[in-house]
Amino acid sequence: MVKNISVKENFKKSSQVAKVVVWKKTRLTSPGYSIQYDHIDPRHFSSSIKPFTVSRTTGYLEVLIDDLTTIGVIEPYRMFTARAEFRLFMRPDNADLRLTEQIQITEDEIILQRVKIEAQYEKLLDKEKSQIEEVKKEEQLIIPEDFNYSDSRLSLPNEAREILSKHRPASIASASRIPGYLRF
């Protein structure tokens, strides 16, 4: 939501700027603008969308939702495919296989092209699938909402305590994606 917009439309406004006592010797050289945005901190939302819980291992929409609910934003969010860890797995040509499985649509399709494409990516996909399984395990390691990161029994550096306390990740997987978080 745009809260406030101010625009200098032309150079005639420079005479108005010079009328302000502290800006008496100021000369407007080019018009400019400023925009102030208001937004709700998306970290206050849950990452589940009924009827299923979102996992960033499934698709780009899930990466976007996970980024917003885990990291939050300080400026308008831009979705970059580079933010997705599993880009080979989330290729456009296999979206039907990945996503129809989730919504339980069954189609008897025999596609020779599909077999050919999967064969090309087989070795890389095997590696990425093991990484996906690791992330899925970490997504199951839920961190209680009231977890005390200041507890002296934890062997965490102060910087990690501050970052984790600020972001309050819902799981170990979420914590591992917070910028500045160090894996131990």
* φ, ψ dihedrals at 179, nearest 5°: -60, 135
* Residue, of 82 and 18, whose pLDDT is higher: 82
Q: Assess whether pLDDT exceeds 80 at residue 16.
A: no
Q: 51 preceded by cis ω (within 30°)? A: yes
Q: What are the φ and ψ backbone dihedral angles of 161, each rounded to 5 degrees? A: -60, -45
Residues 154-175 as b/e (b if ≥16 CB within 10 A, e otherwise) read eeeeeebeebbeebbbbbbbbb
- Confidence tier at 102 by pLDDT (50, 70, 90): low
In 3D, which of 45, 30, 116, 29 has the Cα closest to residue 77? 45
Higher pLDDT, 49 or 108: 108
DSSP for 59-81 reads -HHHHHHHHHHHT--SS-----G
Average pLDDT of the chain to the nearest whole number: 77
Q: Who wins on pLDDT, 53 or 144?
A: 144
Residue 131 confidence class, pLDDT cut points 50, 70, 90: very high
Mean pLDDT of 63-84: 81
Please report which residue ranges of 8-111 form alpha helices under DSSP H.
13-19, 60-70, 95-102
**Do residues 107 and 83 lie in contact, with contact meaning Cβ atoms separated by under 8 Å?**
no
Provide the 3-class DSSP secondary structure of residue 165. Answer: helix
CB 163 within 8 A of CB 180: yes
Residues 6+ apart with CB under 8 A from 48: 54
Place of tokens 């933010």: 83
